[in-house]
Amino acid sequence: MAAEYEVQFTTTGRVPARDRAEFWTDHVRFNHGTLDYSFPHPDEHSPAGFAGATHVQRCGGHQLVEFWSDRITYARTARHVRGDDDRSMRLFVPKSGALTVTHDGHALPVPVGHAALVSMARPFELVHRPQARAWVLTVPEGCLPDRAVADGPSVLDLRRGVGAVAGTMTRALARERTSLSGPAFVAISARVIELVSLALADTHGHIRPGGLQAVAAAAHAYVDERSDDPDLTPASMARDLGWSLRQLQLALRAAGTTPAELLRNRRLDRARSRLEDPRWNAVSVGGIAFASGFGSLGAFGTAFRARFGTTPKAVRAAGPAAALNAAVSPAVSP
């Protein structure tokens, strides 16, 4: 059953003043999990008179919250991390005012035009001034590599390049909240996360000069080395390379393929080479299929015919001489 798309507006203005701090605490915990809260000193603003509001969009594991409120400090502690094992991330995008994210004693200002990515699997603090407005995008576990925040929160520049596109799409996602379907909201949220991944890679050097081409080249080299492993999958490939699956898919899409297609074609090429190699004559067609990483003889045969237009047995029967002739014969125009 498809997840339901929810759009909700919540405000402390509908709650008695004495109950607002507790109401806000419960509301934010429902959206973001376990946190500690530090309201301003009563001499500055009374917690009893605390004011804030949110627009929440949610479908499945994807969520976008637009909020404004009086000054407050949110703290995600080591105790919280141990208690709920939440490994998702949050992208904080100021709309007006400024946020400050603190990790391990280091404060990172996040002004308008920037964004901060934090992991719920690591302690952090978030504080903002009165009447600040911001968006908070939930990044479900596994959508971005953990290395993106391995050294603490990452601050992105949303004023230019890929970051600017991600910021524009975030604003549009919020603005069109009532016009979207659940699948559309999830799809656009996923695209924003892909763009954030690229912006982070450019910021931290995870993608070296050559950009997506470098990621694709690394994937090709990895598959060349490991394609015989029947347990190798697109997900495990991305994990071993240190990328998210989404980022790997995006890089290979730019190169005209997909992780699954790259892996399948490399296995087929290797299997055909072995079928034509006299040193493999004593190994059955099924044995070559399994040695080349295929888990099913039927799937191997179907994929082989689709790629080469012939059968594995026919290739073996033709022998290495036919393969050599095909490789050295000049092309003849009709």
Q: How many CB atoms lie within 10 A of CB 54?
A: 19
State mean pLDDT over 155-167.
Answer: 87
Distance, in Å, from the CA atom of 45 to the CA atom of 161, rounded to the nearest integer, reads: 40
3-state percent helix, strand, coil for the chain, nearest multiple of 5: 50, 20, 30
The region that residue 203 occupies, defined by phi over 0 for left and psi between -120 and 50 for alpha, beta otherwise, is alpha
**Does 155 score more than 70 pLDDT?**
yes
Hey, what's the torsion of the CAs at 304, 309, 311, 314, to 10 degrees? -140
State mean pLDDT over 53-78.
Answer: 95
Amino acid identity of residue 105, one-letter, is: G
Phi, psi of 107 (to 5 degrees): -95, 130
DSSP 8-state symbol, 333? -
How do residues 209-247 score in pLDDT, each as one tens digit? 345 666 777 788 889 888 999 999 998 888 776 677 887
The dihedral through the CA atoms of 154, 155, 160, 164 has a sign that is positive
Distance, in Å, from the CA atom of 28 to the CA atom of 90, rounded to the nearest integer, reads: 13
Of the ranges 52-66, 90-104, 131-145, which is most confident?
Answer: 52-66
Q: What are the helix (H) ranges across 205-311?
A: 212-226, 234-241, 245-254, 259-275, 285-291, 297-308
Going by CATH, does the domain composed of 6-204 fall within 2.60.120.10?
yes
91 has which bridge partners? 117, 137
| Fold equal for 6-204 and 211-321 | no
pLDDT at res. 260 = 94
State mean pLDDT over 140-151.
Answer: 82
**CB 80 within 8 Å of CB 35:** yes
Distance, in Å, from the CA atom of 192 to the CA atom of 184, rounded to the nearest integer, reads: 12
The region that residue 97 occupies, defined by phi over 0 for left and psi between -120 and 50 for alpha, beta otherwise, is left
Distance, in Å, from the CA atom of 52 to the CA atom of 128, rounded to the nearest integer, reads: 12
Residue spans of beta strands (DSSP E) within the chain: 6-11, 36-38, 52-59, 62-69, 72-76, 89-96, 99-103, 106-110, 114-119, 124-128, 132-139, 154-157
State mean pLDDT over 148-166.
Answer: 85
pLDDT at res. 204 = 52
Taking the domains of the chain in order of start, what are their residue ranges?
A: 6-204, 211-321
Amino acid identity of residue 10, one-letter, is: T
How do residues 258-316 score in pLDDT, each as one tens digit? 999 999 999 999 999 999 999 999 999 999 999 999 999 999 999 999 999 999 999 99
How do residues 256-266 score in pLDDT, each as one tens digit? 999 999 999 99
Stretch among 62-66, 88-92, 203-207, 215-219 having the lowest mean pLDDT: 203-207
**Any idea which fold 211-321 has?**
Arc Repressor Mutant, subunit A (1.10.10)
pLDDT at res. 146 = 78
Phi, psi of 98 (to 5 degrees): -140, 145
pLDDT at res. 77 = 94
